[in-house]
Structure formats: C-alpha cells, structure tokens
Structure 1
Amino acid sequence: MSLLAILKSINLMLRFLLELVSLFFMGYWGYKTGNGPVQWVLAIGAPLIMAVIWGAMGDPKAAIQLSAPLHLVLEIIVFGLPVLLFGEVGKTEIAWIFGCLLVVNRILMYIWKQ
C-alpha cells in the first residue's frame, strides 16, 4: 500500500470522526443551553435531527443525492453549525481547532476526489 493510499484512508477516517464529533457538539450544546426537560430534548433531539438530515442527503450512499453545490451548502450547515454552537457555549478554542480540521479535511477530500 502506498503512502498516498494510507493518507487517503486516514483522511476518510478523520471525516468519519469529524461527523461523530459534530453530533457530540450538537448534543453538548443542547445540554448546556436548555433547562430542565428542555435540556434533554435539545441534547438528544439536536444531534438526532442533524444525523437524519445528513444520512438522508449528505452521506455518499444517501437516498437523496444532491448536486455538488447543494451538497457543499449542506456540509457547511451540518459541520459549521456545531462549530458556531460550541463557540457559543464558551468552548472557542475547541471550536477553532475543530473548524480548522474540517477545512483541511474538506480541502484534501476535494483534491483527492473522495
């Protein structure tokens, strides 16, 4: 296996981890934002809604295939929203790191046609 193939595999694995972290960020935001029962509804509902939307339209094997520009818009919303929300709850350093990883990952996915 070549070094490039290994790097491409690592990039795809990073993408999957970024998807999971996005879901975590949405749940964390919901938990920190709400009070009482609303806290739990947001903590469970926000990542669930995002996962359903991403699974239905964003995933490469999704039932609804979007055009490239619409898919990019969906990616910006699905991955950008958790960055903004995590920054809102005071975790700005982590939000910056996550945002930078997202940008690098997306650039490499574009270059390597992943």
Structure 2
Amino acid sequence: MRTTPGSPTPLEPPHVLDERRWYVANEVLAFLLELAALACLGWWGSTAADGTALRVLLGAGLPLVAIVLWSLFAAPKARLRPRLPLVLAVKALVLGGGAVALYGVGHPVAAVAMAVVVVVNTAVAETFRRRPTTSPTG
C-alpha cells in the first residue's frame, strides 16, 4: 500500500477501493437475502397448516431450523467448515427455501426475482472469495 508523506492512512489504487465497495455491497445484499429467506419461511409456515398450534410451530420452527443449519455450515464463522459443495447445498436449501416459501404464499413473480438475485449474489460472493488476494507490496 502506498502512503503520502504525513498521511496516517494508506492510499489504495482506485480499482481496489471500487472492488472493495462492490464486495461490501454484495455482502450486505447477502445478509438481507438471508433475513428475507427467514421471513418468507416463517410467513409460509404460519399459513401452511390448519390449527393455531401447528401454524405457530411451523412459523417459528422453519426459520429456527434454517438458522441452525446456516450457523453450522454456511455462515462466515460457521462452527463446522465443510467443503464448498455442502456450503452451497445449505445455502440453496435455506435461500431457495425462502423463494419457494414466497411462491407458496402466492407471490410467484417475487419468488422468481428472489431466486435470481440469490443465484447472482451467491455466484458473485464465491467469485470474490476465490479471487487471489493482491500483495501489499504491489
């Protein structure tokens, strides 16, 4: 990294700063998609069954199961570090499940849009994560 005389912070080339902004924006989008998937799973679960007790159980239980799976296998600081295919399978199950749940509550266009955004976001995130890091010496 370069610094200017008297400057306490390093200066990055403009393309590095721009790339970092895209990375952060994509990670924020990923987090919002995760929250949306949990909400959609809860929404579908609370409408999918007859009887109040079953609706409450599914409405709270489906997001809870998704949270446990995500925290064990797919989160950045997951307790277990499986290989990429299992991580992607868990992401597909949770995020895809959110899109399917959205379809299940009667919003097919929004479900397809969510599914497309999930696929693009995940592909971009994995591309950023697999990209070799640049050395600070240039």
Counterpart in the other structure of 2:79: 63
Q: Which amino acid aligns with 1:83?
A: A
Report the identity percentage. 27
Superposition pairs for residues 51-90 of structure 1, below 5 Å?
Answer: 51-90=67-106
Q: Which amino acid aligns with 2:108?
A: T
**Greater RCO, 1 or 2 (C-alpha within 8 Å, sep 6+):** 1
- Structure 1 or 2: larger helix share? 1
| Distance in 2, Cα, partners of 1:43 & 1:98 | 20
**Aligned-CA RMSD value:** 1.4
| Distance in 1, Cα, partners of 2:64 & 2:29 | 21
Question: Structure 2 length as normaliser, TM-score?
Answer: 0.77
1:44 corresponds, among 43, 55, 60, to 60
Q: Which amino acid aligns with 1:32?
A: T
Counterpart in the other structure of 1:100: 116
- Structure number with larger C-alpha Rg: 2
Deviation readout 1:82-103 (Å, 9 max, x if unpaired) = 2112212211111111111101
Counterpart in the other structure of 1:5: 20
Contact 1:25 1:82 in 2 (8 A): yes
**What are the ranges of 5 or more consecutive residues in structure 1 without an aligned counterpart?**
none
Counterpart in the other structure of 1:15: 30
Question: Structure 1 length as normaliser, TM-score?
Answer: 0.92
